[in-house]
């Protein structure tokens, strides 16, 4: 049975998250239903990242086994046809080796968090940014963010319900840059704790407002105490941008 890699883009706003759940529609469930609709087989797909409710993706990756001799382009186009009108798109379908695993073989994941810091609220970017009606210092946020880069115990930036065996992770990069009215926070690592990026973004926002400085952020990290975290940034500003694999 051929295995396909699916590269996926979606707007997470109407979904309870990537993972199939009983309390509402999921991205995983919508794609599985679309595949079944075109090929007649019941399937289960595995994604590289279990994004939360409201989180978006431009580069989610999943794999699925589909019975039949289907060309990859046919899989892409047929699944997209049956996904309509859900805000999900299969960007590419590729036949891969039978041992390819979208989740466990990933070597790096890239996330983007977007903050709109202007006085007027968003009209076109609602549910796609975190609106902060106060100008932030992206430069101060970037300088402070470097204290989080490297291997650390990220208990402070870990959700209470996180199921990871250890709070220790290696954060490869964390950058903050301004693009017009948008402050972009980009984070890359092999893997992340539950709510880690949103927790870091919320704490960095305090730095951007001048309520914290770099010392405060570093102290929060070293405290290894969830109570020392800043506000958790809303899901609407977070995007899974890309997932890397070894050649």
pLDDT, tens digit (0-9, with 9 covering 90-100), for 52-108: 999 999 999 999 999 989 999 999 999 999 999 999 999 999 999 999 999 999 999
Residue 163 has a pLDDT of: 84
Q: Which residue among the candidates 11, 52, 97, 216 is catalytic per the annotation?
A: 52
Domain spans of the chain, in order of start: 3-96, 107-245
Helices 214-223 and 196-209, interaxial angle, to 10°? 150
**Class of the domain covering 107-245:** alpha beta
Q: Would 3-96 and 107-245 be classified into the same CATH topology?
A: yes
Burial state string for 61-89 with b = 16 or more CB within 10 A and e = fewer than 16: bbbbebeeebebeebbebbbebbeebbbe
* Token pair listed for 27: 């991205």
Q: Report DSSP state, residue 21.
A: B
- Give the E-state strand segments of 84-237 in sequence order: 88-96, 106-116, 130-131, 150-153, 168-179, 182-189
CA distance 241 to 235: 14
CA distances from 108 to 53, 104, 142, 184 (A): 22, 11, 21, 19
- Determine how β-strand 130-131 pairs with β-strand 106-116: parallel
Q: For residues 26 and 16, what is the distance between their CA atoms, to the nearest angstrom?
A: 5
The pLDDT of residue 160 is: 85
Q: Cα–Cα distances in Å, from 79 out to 30, 39, 75, 92, 231?
A: 10, 9, 6, 11, 38
- Selected from 3.50.50.60, 3.30.70.580, 1.10.10.10, 3.40.605.10, the CATH number assigned to the domain covering 3-96 reads 3.30.70.580
Active site residue 213: no
> Model pTM greater than 0.75?
yes
Tell whether the model's pLDDT for residue 146 goes beyond 90.
Answer: yes
């Amino acid at each position: 049975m051929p295995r396909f890699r699916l590269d996926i883009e979606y707007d997470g706003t109407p979904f309870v998250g990537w993972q199939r759940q009983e309390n509402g529609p999921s991205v995983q469930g919508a794609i599985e239903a679309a595949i079944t609709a075109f090929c007649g087989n019941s399937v289960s797909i595995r994604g590289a990242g279990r994004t939360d409710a409201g989180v978006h993706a431009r580069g989610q990756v999943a794999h699925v086994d589909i019975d039949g001799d289907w060309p990859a382009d046919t899989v892409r186009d047929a699944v997209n046809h049956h996904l309509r009108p859900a805000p999900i798109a299969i960007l590419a379908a590729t036949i891969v080796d039978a041992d390819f695993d979208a989740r466990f073989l990933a070597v790096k994941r890239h996330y983007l968090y977007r903050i709109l810091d202007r006085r007027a609220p968003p009209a076109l970017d609602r549910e796609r940014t975190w609106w902060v009606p106060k100008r932030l210092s992206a430069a101060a946020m970037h300088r402070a963010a470097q204290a989080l880069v490297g291997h650390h115990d990220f208990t402070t930036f870990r959700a209470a319900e996180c199921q990871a065996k250890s709070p220790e992770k290696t954060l490869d990069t964390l950058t903050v840059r301004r693009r017009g009215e948008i402050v972009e926070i980009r984070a890359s690592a092999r893997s992340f704790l539950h709510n880690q990026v949103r927790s870091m973004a919320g704490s960095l926002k305090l730095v951007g407002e001048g309520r914290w400085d770099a010392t405060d952020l570093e102290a929060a990290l070293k405290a290894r105490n969830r109570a020392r975290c800043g506000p958790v940034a809303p899901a609407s500003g977070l995007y899974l941008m890309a997932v890397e694999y070894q050649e």
